Structure 1
C-alpha cells in the first residue's frame, strides 16, 4: 500500500483500484492495458462514437483522454524522478478533449497509440531507481511521488474501464 502522504486525497479513488492486490507498478500497467485493449478492440463499430448522455465523452474521446492523461503524468513522473523541483501545473481534461480530434480519428489508431504509449511508460518506469520512485514533486498544487504516479496510470485506466462497462456497454 502506498502511504497516503504520497498523493492528493482526490487520487484515492484510483489508488483503491490497483493497490489492494499487492501487484507491482509494472504488473498493474501491463494488466490494465491488456484489459483496456481487449474490451475496446472487441466493441462493434457503432459504439465507437457512442456517448451515453448529451455532453458526455464518446468512446473515442475517452480513449484520447486516457492518452492525454498518461502523457501528462509521464512528464510529471520524469521531472520528479530526475529531481526537478519545478512545481508543475494542472491540466483541464475537458479543454483537452474539446480541442482534440478524437472523433475524426480511426478507433484502431487511438487504441494503437494508447498501447504504444503504455509500452513507453513501462520502459520509463523500468528505468527509475528505487530512490527515484520515492521522490516527491508538486503538480496541480499537490504533492505526489513518482511511485504514486506509477500506480495512478493503471488506477485511472481501471476507473474509466469501470465507467465504460457501466455506461457504454
Structure 2
C-alpha cells in the first residue's frame, strides 16, 4: 500500500517521513518499529537522557516525549479522517509542547511504558481501519491528509528522530 500512496494525501513537508516508512503494511510497520524503538531506547545510557548536543536543542528525553506526543496527535488525526470527519484540524506547535512536557523528569522506563501504551493503541486503531477508511482524506494544518498517510508518518517520524539521536546525541 505504501507504493500506492499519492502525493495529494499529505503535505509535501511529510514526504521525508513517509519515505522512511519501511513496511507497506502500516500495522506491521508500527509493530516492528515499536520493537526496534524499545530496543534502541534501552541501549541509550541513562546519563544521555537529559543531554542536548547544543544550547536550545532538545534533550534525548524531550525528543522521546515529542515522539509520544506526535503519535497521539497523528493517531487522532487518522481516526478523524477514517471516520470521514471533514472538520478541519488545526496544527500544533511542537516547540510549545516540549518545554511544557516535563520530559527530563521522567525515567527512561516510564517513557518507554508510555510509548508502548500509545503505540499499542495506534496499532489497535489502524487494525480497525478498512482499506476504504485508510484512503479517506481530511484536512490538518490547512493541508490534505489521508488516514494512511498519518500511519506512515508515525513510523517514518520515529525513524527520523532515532537517526538524529544516533548522529548527534550518542
Distance across 1 between alignment mates of 2:149 and 2:29: 12
**2:23·2:29 contact (CA, 8 Å) conserved in 1?**
no
- Name the SS of the counterpart of 1:138 in structure 2: strand
Residue 53 (structure 1) aligns with: 54
- Report whether the alignment pairs 1:161 with 2:155: no
* d(CA) in 1 for partners of 2:110, 2:32: 20
Distance (Å, rounded) in 2 between the aligned partners of 1:33 and 1:139: 25
Normalising by structure 2, report the TM-score.
Answer: 0.95
Aligned with 2:18 (options 15, 20, 37) = 15
Does residue 146 (structure 1) correspond to residue 168 (structure 2)? The answer is no
TM-score by length of 1: 0.95
Higher mean displacement: 140-149 or 32-41: 32-41
- Structure 1 distance, partners of 2:158, 2:9, is 19
**Which runs of 5 or more structure 1 residues have no equivalent in the other structure?**
none
SS at match of 1:143: strand
Runs of 4+ deviating beyond 6 Å:
none
Coordinate RMSD, CA, aligned: 1.0
1:47-126 matches, cutoff 5 A: 47-126=48-127
Q: Secondary structure at the match of 1:137?
A: strand
Q: How many residues align?
A: 167
Q: Which has the higher helix share?
A: 2
Mapping for residues 122-141 of structure 1, pairs under 5 Å? 122-141=123-142
